């Protein structure tokens, strides 16, 4: 159930990128109004994640995640039904709100029902299905557009309802008691915990670098000297997602075998290497190689960080998952804005070099977190 939910949830996030032209035609608006649907989706998604996991610690996972999927389904239906751009944006807001009550809670559920010695693999698989959804969303949207773009959102709404039903079945027994946490640890104490702060910083950094590079690579490949068509650019970007999907379970095994911090550090090193490959790439296969390296490296980082999220404060893992996911998706949301100055003033090359240096900060953060947790165990 958690893996199915992890796949359905991210489908709506970036489907919009494959539907820009039909949405412009349907509503008679410009691209800037269509792209506004991305922050309209991301703002409630980031903000309400701060509370959803914490709420699930007290009320139980079932009530929160089921409500999230129901809201997500309603938002998806509203997007498909929307007669004008304002109604469409309203639907996107509701989607983001619902998804905020899904992501951290599913994350906590995987932590609740996995053994310590198998947690890395479980989180690796969870990362794989999530990455698969991110890559599959635009493909589904492109296919459904051959019928009617609105059916993209109706399909997502239907899938969310099916997951809602699956949740009722999965928690029909006594499992819900296992997922309701009782702890005297306050949310303020968790939010100011140095290890949690380090974890959130690592998640923010990873998405900040990855999304910034992907966003401006897509634009750079469409102009001089490459002039790649949208299909070719799509193949380049899709290769990174596929690499992540394939490597994620193996990255999880590595987490269990050599540890969370070593695996994450290896991921940060190879992400930096991938940025350098981007910098020196001069053709299609060079960019494919860079994307695959970065996608696989990101899979190793996420498998490690997701595992740590449910282990740092196990009695309040829902709260930690909330803070972690809100932080990393905040990096996702603001990265294109903050990287814009570098890209438009100096080009994509300096952006790759800056990203390679920023990524190495991840190793520093992991060393810091490891020392914090080591002192705590003494």
d(CA 150, CA 22): 10
Tens digit of each residue's pLDDT (9 = 90 or more) over 256-273: 899 999 999 999 999 999
Mean pLDDT score, 137-159: 80
φ and ψ at 259, to 5 degrees?
A: 110, 160
Alpha carbon dihedral 220, 224, 228, 233, in 10-degree steps, equals 0
- Residue 109, burial from CB neighbour count under 10 angstroms (0-12, 13-18, 19+): buried
φ and ψ at 82, to 5 degrees?
A: -45, 120
Q: Which CATH superfamily is domain 187-377 in?
A: MFS general substrate transporter like domains (1.20.1250.20)
Mean pLDDT across the chain, nearest whole number?
A: 83
Mean pLDDT score, 195-204: 94
Tens digit of each residue's pLDDT (9 = 90 or more) over 216-240: 887 788 788 888 876 677 678 778 7
Domain boundary assignment for the chain: 2-169, 187-377
Tens digit of each residue's pLDDT (9 = 90 or more) over 289-307: 998 999 899 889 989 998 8
**Both tokens assigned to 197:** 């702060």
Tens digit of each residue's pLDDT (9 = 90 or more) over 43-91: 898 888 888 877 877 777 788 888 999 999 999 999 999 999 999 999 9
Task: Compute the half-sphere exposure of residue 294: CA atoms within 13 Å on the CB side of its CA.
Answer: 32
Tens digit of each residue's pLDDT (9 = 90 or more) over 319-336: 888 888 888 888 877 887
**Both tokens assigned to 154:** 């109706």
Q: What is the longest distance spanned by two Cα atoms in the chain?
A: 64
How would residue 213 be classed by pLDDT, with cut points 50, 70 and 90? confident
- Give the distance from CA 12 to its chain's centroid: 12
Looking at domain 2-169, which of 1.20.1250.20, 3.30.300.30, 3.40.50.261, 1.10.3210.10 is its CATH number?
1.20.1250.20
Same CATH fold assignment for domains 2-169 and 187-377: yes
Q: pLDDT value at position 178?
A: 47
């Amino acid at each position: 159930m958690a893996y199915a939910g992890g796949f359905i949830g991210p489908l709506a996030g970036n489907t919009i990128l494959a539907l820009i032209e039909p949405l412009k035609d349907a509503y008679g608006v410009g691209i800037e109004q269509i792209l506004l649907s991305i922050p309209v989706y991301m703002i409630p998604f980031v903000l309400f994640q701060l509370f959803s996991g914490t709420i699930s610690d007290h009320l139980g996972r079932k009530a929160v995640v089921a409500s999230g999927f129901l809201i997500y389904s309603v938002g998806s239906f509203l997007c498909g039904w929307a007669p004008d751009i304002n109604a469409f944006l309203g639907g996107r807001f509701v989607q983001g709100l619902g998804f905020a009550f899904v992501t951290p809670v599913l994350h906590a559920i995987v932590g609740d029902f996995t053994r310590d010695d198998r947690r890395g693999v479980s989180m690796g698989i969870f990362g794989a299905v999530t990455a698969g959804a991110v890559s599959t969303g635009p493909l589904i949207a492109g296919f459904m557009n051959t019928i009617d773009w609105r059916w993209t959102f109706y399909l997502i709404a239907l899938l969310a309802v099916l997951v809602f039903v699956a949740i009722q079945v999965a928690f029909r027994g006594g499992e819900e008691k296992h997922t309701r946490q009782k702890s005297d640890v306050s949310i303020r104490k968790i939010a100011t915990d140095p290890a949690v702060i380090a974890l959130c910083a690592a998640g923010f950094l990873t998405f900040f670098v990855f999304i910034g590079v992907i966003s401006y690579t897509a634009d750079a490949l469409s102009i001089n000297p490459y002039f790649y068509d949208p299909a070719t650019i799509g193949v380049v970007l899709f290769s990174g997602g596929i690499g992540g999907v394939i490597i994620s379970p193996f990255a999880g095994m590595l987490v269990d075998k050599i540890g969370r911090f070593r695996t994450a550090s290896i991921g940060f090193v190879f992400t930096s290497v991938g940025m350098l490959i981007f910098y020196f790439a001069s053709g299609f296969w060079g960019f494919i190689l860079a994307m695959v390296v970065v996608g696989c490296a990101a899979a190793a980082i996420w498998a490690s960080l997701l595992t740590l999220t449910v282990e740092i404060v196990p009695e309040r893992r829902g709260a930690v998952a909330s803070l972690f996911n809100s932080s990393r998706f905040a990096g996702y949301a603001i990265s294109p804005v903050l990287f814009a100055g570098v890209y438009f003033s100096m080009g994509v090359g300096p952006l790759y070099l800056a990203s390679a240096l920023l990524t190495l900060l991840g190793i520093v953060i992991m060393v810091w977190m490891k020392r914090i947790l080591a002192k705590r165990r003494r």
